[in-house]
Amino acid sequence: METEVSNQYYLESAPIKKAIAHLSIPMMIGMSVGTIYNVINAYFIGLLHNTSMLTAITLGLPIFTVLMAFGNMLGVGGGTFITRLAGQKDTEKGKKVAGYTFYGSIIVGILIALIAMLAMDPITRLLGADAATLDFTKAYALTLFAGGFAIVLNFALEQLVRSEGASKESMYGIFISTALSLIVDPLFILVLKWHVAGAALAMVLANVGSTIYYVYFLETKSEHLRGFLKHFKISVRDQLEVYKIGVSELLQFSFVIVSTLLLNNFAIHYGENVVAGFGVALRIVQVPEFLSMGLFLGLIPLFAFNFASQNMARLKSAIKHAFAYIGGIAFVFVGLVFLFRGTILHFFSNDPSVLSMGTYILVAMLISALFNGFTGLFMSIFQATGQGVPTNIMAITQGVLFIPMIIVLHSVFGLHGVIWSMTITEVITSLMGVILFMIFSKKLKSTGGDGKGVVEVTSV
């Protein structure tokens, strides 16, 4: 099949710029379209002119993050392992890893739902809901957890599709998800008047749609993974290979969840307009951040394949180009969003207090976004090359730093400290990535270009 050959060609021998364009542009488009869905979701709730509802879906963001974290734990761990196996020509084991990832995602999603149903009241309080937002937050949370297995599975399968360089197919799945959400969002929220529960249900159904597509592609069109549904078990050693990288995703998102909970609980003391301002600013700043994310996520298979096949010259060239492109995206798009921040914010709210606070918060988050892309690129390089220690250090650093940062800055500077704590944490984490990457670069140089020394360290 032509598509199969082309995916292998882009990973293995295509000119670097051509390979990056093929692998990353579809991902950047897909991630941007996915971001538009998040924005539209808030937009339709915003049309109801109910700040409590807008606050509730902001407070509920950590739930989606939990589900995504478990999906990425299995998907990133399994996907990067599969790509390295492809680089070593061991595709049969790759199918087994894919099957383990698929069934593991379903089991995890169901377990999360059962635990959440038993602890819904404390979870809702933990999210930071007050008397005005409690019922809305609970309705949103119940619906999202009930269909959570689809979200876990969707994120895991997307990583598997991407593992062999099938970026276009990954993008198609995101398109399907977004198209479905654009149809059912206004239907559930405005027409059927299910409000926040409708927003959550729309998200679940959108993920079901893309999941069906990914299963179809992997089982019938995939170059290396066709027949993966027959497999379930893998050895303990292979499971450890999945989790040594995958756990970093769980750690990273766990700290994101803790950070978001802290942020919400500190912010709610200053009023609903502050929480709503954070929610709107977060969605806007995701546009430049997700473009960068599309770039480095699209390149993970390129990094992993050439590392495993010991083509160090190609690996280094890909990394060098990635840094240049990430920098360009960050400065151009952050600049554009900053220039038009007032106009953009008016799409989400007509409440003057939300607009005023959202503008201030957005400035801090845009500065954070300048560094966010580089932090993600460092993580992607470490994940792709099976570097468990630096991957987990990066994942832990951000959370370990943010928790004392927000507590101390809040106690000293109040609301200003809460707003800027995330930015300061992001800058420091990015600098930590620079240090770890320099150590990794020395490892690459010490191999004399053959890659053997570093490949042995990963015990692929």
Read off the tokens for 184. 């059912």
Taking phi over 0 as left and psi of -120 to 50 as alpha, with beta for the rest, 40 belongs to: alpha
Q: What is the pLDDT of residue 106?
A: 93
Structural tokens at position 219: 């089982």
User: Which pLDDT score is estimated for 156?
Assistant: 93
**Positive or negative CA dihedral for 161, 165, 167, 172?**
negative
pLDDT value for 303 = 92
Closest CA to 315 of 436, 431, 437, 222: 437
Are 353 and 274 within 8 A, CB to CB?
Answer: no
List the single range of 42-51, 239-248, 442-451 with lowest mean pLDDT.
442-451
Average pLDDT over residues 62-83: 87
**Whole-number pLDDT of residue 26:** 85
Domain map (residue ranges) of the chain: 11-449
Cβ–Cβ under 8 Å, residues 368 and 330: no
pLDDT band at 37 (very low <50, low <70, confident <90, very high): low
CA distance 316 to 449: 10
pLDDT higher than 60, residue 460 = no
Say which range, 178-187, 300-309, 441-450, has the weakest mean pLDDT. 441-450
- pLDDT > 90 in the chain, percent: 24
Q: Is the pLDDT of residue 172 over 80?
A: yes
- If you average pLDDT over residues 279-283, what whole number do you get? 77
pLDDT tens digits, one per residue of 338-381: 888 778 887 777 778 778 888 888 888 888 888 988 998 998 99
Q: Provide the strand spans (E) within 306-399.
A: none
CB 166 within 8 A of CB 217: yes
pLDDT of residue 5: 46
**What per-residue confidence (pLDDT) applies to 38?**
64
The single residue listed with the structure tokens 């993008």 is 171
Could you give the CA distance from residue 205 to residue 332 in angstroms, rounded to a whole number? 34
Contacts of residue 201, defined as CB under 8 A and 6 or more positions apart, other chains included, come to 143, 147, 184, 188, 194
- Name the most confidently modeled range: 33-47, 130-144, 409-423: 409-423
Angle at 76 between CA 73 and CA 82, to 5 degrees: 130
Please give the pLDDT value at position 452. 43
